[in-house]
Structure 1
Amino acid sequence: MSPAPIIIVAAPFCGSSWLAGVMSTMPDIYATPQLCAFMADTVGELLEIFSLSQDEHGDGLHRTVAELCFGGQRDAEIAQAHQWLTARATRPVTDVLDEIAALVAPRRLLMPETEAPLRPMELQRMRRWRDDTQFVHMVRHPWTQGCRFAAWLQDRLFVPVDFRDYSRFPPLPEPQIPWLRANCNIDNALGDLGDARVLRVISEALDTDFGDTMTVLARGLGLPHASASWATLRDPAEWRFAGRGPDQAPGGLEADVRGAWSDDAERLARMPTLDQPLPWRPDGRGFAAEVLQLAERYGYR
């Protein structure tokens, strides 16, 4: 049995890919990009979903297999990775995850996930995979998340229909919808597992007290946590998956890792509040009551 895997679960634009890159510098960790592996039960079903997707859902898995099995992430290795996955079309996706975990052993496999938290079925598949998986629930202030997500959504041709606020006409993207849905789904699916298996990390704590926050996280995950080493972990530039992949599989990272915000959007994002009109809404409304309740439970004021 390979060492217990770690999955970072978060709403979109909460920093999960960045944290995975930071933790990839730990000698006990092998961090992948987002694999989106829990979208289906079998590999064949998963590949079919990838082929129909309007986004880059399959890129992270292809890049990971290419890197581990074929020594790189060029288009030729991506093609080999696709053949490798196709040859396992009838097998459960969890078998492939077990293979990947075995390939990186004795390091622990770490995967960030912002897709599965939006869909309870995927969280259930994730939970059923292994009984020893540890989860890191990463949370960001809904104001900060919303400012960055809204700026990114402005340039998107396709926005999922369930990310739109239909109380307005025409319906406009509303970032607090995926924030609320993802965090509620995570709490509902994993909330009974206990503190030893589900560790919550507040994104802002990494900004204000990086060393102590990482020490607590590492201790909870059973990883070495010598605080003297944390200063070298802030920049995950050496991570094999830190940048865009080749033409055949460019994605795999959460969009906020490579998002370029305007100065105004970033300035607003850095002034979080729960009681002001939301800057991305033209009607002057604030957060929904459900968002406020959950944010306050997470310690935001």
Structure 2
Amino acid sequence: MSEIAIADAGPDMARPVFILAAPRSFTSLVAAMIGQHPELYGVPELNLFQCETIAEFNSGQGADGRKKSPYWAAMRHGLLRTVAELYSGEQTVQSVAMAERWLKARESQSAVEVFRELCAKVAPLQIVEKSPAVLRKQEYMQRILEACPGARFIHLVRNPVSQCKSVLNAKGGVGVLLAINSVDHRGAKAALEPQIMWHDTQVQILRFLDSLPDEQFITIRGEAFLSNLDDSLPALCRWLGISDAPEAIAAMRRPEDSAYSNIGPSNAPLGNDVNFLNAPALREGNVKSPPLDSALPWREDRAPLHPRVVALAEALGY
């Protein structure tokens, strides 16, 4: 790993850190850990860049009138909690109501403008954020660059076998797969196939990263990262150009200390994976990575991963 050096990123330019990963790829834990570094500021899933304007964010409808997601009401919680915390110093029913008014007053502004306002609010700290849904379209990811050309990106990967199992076992996981049509239609009857989502998400990320200089992004295998934190945390800090002092590393090992690592007030309880919010503490130890030729328990035929998935996983270091 080497320190980032982007020629056009001036000293006062916001350089947030974005984690790009498929759902159930250790994103909640890793984002919270990195966001606890004393030079950074971790936020929940903002989901801002799926929208062109704040009016669109508030309504949950695109310019074509279509609903963005059947889960959009819950997908707003992260930004509401962030605004409540930053502008009132607490997350309560009353402060979330204030955040709703804050957003209503900015309906004519773009998502890019509001993200820049949040960056200015936490400065000199830099925001750490992950919103897996932003990976659905290249235009969403391009909005990140429009907001902050000097942003740093962490491509976080999880073994496809364990990631697919985790998606199927997660609350709401089946609904997510159906919403993005992660369905195999080749057999006599259609069947949920989570490896489609794993594959297509990695392709989307790689297409986006291919447009960036190598110094602006890094790929991390989640299992290796979490299994060797004594080495991986200082190395990541050096890559980000932030302190790797013992006290900074110790703070990163306490993701539960974040103001957002808990269930929020009744009008915005989420903003992150509910399992993480209920048990946010880091549990250190070896994280297993199953063989790529494992029989897949969700398939009736017990077939292994599709060859294209295997090839992509191997290219990513598995």
Determine the structure 1 residue equivalent to 2:255: 236
Whether 2:66 is the aligned partner of 1:47: answer: no
Cα distance in 2, alignment partners of residues 228 and 169 from structure 1: 58
Determine the structure 1 residue equivalent to 2:37: 26
Q: Is the 8 A contact 1:23 1:233 kept in 2?
A: yes
Equivalences for residues 124-135 of structure 1 within 5 A: 124-135=142-153
Which AA in structure 2 matches 1:5? P
Deviates more, 1:51-60 or 1:99-108: 51-60
SS of equivalent residue, structure 2 residue 255: coil
Which AA in structure 2 matches 1:3? A
Cα distance in 1, alignment partners of residues 134 and 172 from structure 2: 23
Q: Is the 8 A contact 1:201 1:217 kept in 2?
A: no
Whether 2:204 is the aligned partner of 1:185: answer: yes
SS of equivalent residue, structure 1 residue 135: strand
- Over the aligned positions, Cα root-mean-square deviation in angstroms equals 2.3
Q: Is the 8 A contact 2:36 2:254 kept in 1?
A: no
Cα gap change, 1:154 to 1:47, in 2 (>3 Å): closer
SS of equivalent residue, structure 1 residue 217: helix
Determine the structure 2 residue equivalent to 1:160: 179
Number of aligned residues: 292
Cα distance in 2, alignment partners of residues 191 and 52 from structure 1: 27
Cα distance in 2, alignment partners of residues 34 and 154 from structure 1: 16
Determine the structure 2 residue equivalent to 1:58: 76
Which AA in structure 2 matches 1:193? L
Residue 148 of structure 1 is aligned with which of 153, 161, 166? 166
Determine the structure 2 residue equivalent to 1:209: 228
- Consecutive unaligned residues of structure 2, counting only runs of 5 or more, are 1-11, 62-66, 280-286
Residue 8 of structure 1 is aligned with which of 16, 19, 23? 19
Cα gap change, 1:235 to 1:203, in 2 (>3 Å): same
Which AA in structure 2 matches 1:82? E
Q: Is the 8 A contact 2:158 2:221 kept in 1?
A: yes
SS of equivalent residue, structure 1 residue 196: helix
SS of equivalent residue, structure 1 residue 136: strand
Q: TM-score, normalised by structure 1?
A: 0.89
Q: CA deviation at 1:94?
A: 0.8
Cα distance in 1, alignment partners of residues 210 and 175 from structure 2: 35
Which AA in structure 2 matches 1:54? P
Cα distance in 2, alignment partners of residues 81 and 222 from structure 1: 33
Q: CA deviation at 1:273?
A: 1.3
> What is the CA deviation profile of residues 2-43 of structure 1, one whole-angstrom value per residue up to 9, with x for unaligned ones?
531111111111111211211222110111011111111111
Cα gap change, 1:3 to 1:220, in 2 (>3 Å): same
Q: TM-score, normalised by structure 2?
A: 0.85
Q: Is the 8 A contact 2:37 2:249 kept in 1?
A: no
Deviates more, 1:270-279 or 1:69-78: 270-279
> What is the CA deviation profile of residues 171-206 of structure 1, one whole-angstrom value per residue up to 9, with x for unaligned ones?
333221221111111110122312321111110112
Which AA in structure 2 matches 1:117? L
- Consecutive unaligned residues of structure 1, counting only runs of 5 or more, are 261-268
- Deviating above 6 A after TM superposition, structure 1's stretches of 4 or more consecutive aligned residues are none
Cα gap change, 1:107 to 1:195, in 2 (>3 Å): same
Q: CA deviation at 1:226?
A: 2.6
Quick one: percent identity of the two aligned structures? Answer: 29
Cα distance in 1, alignment partners of residues 277 and 205 from structure 2: 25
Q: CA deviation at 1:169?
A: 5.4
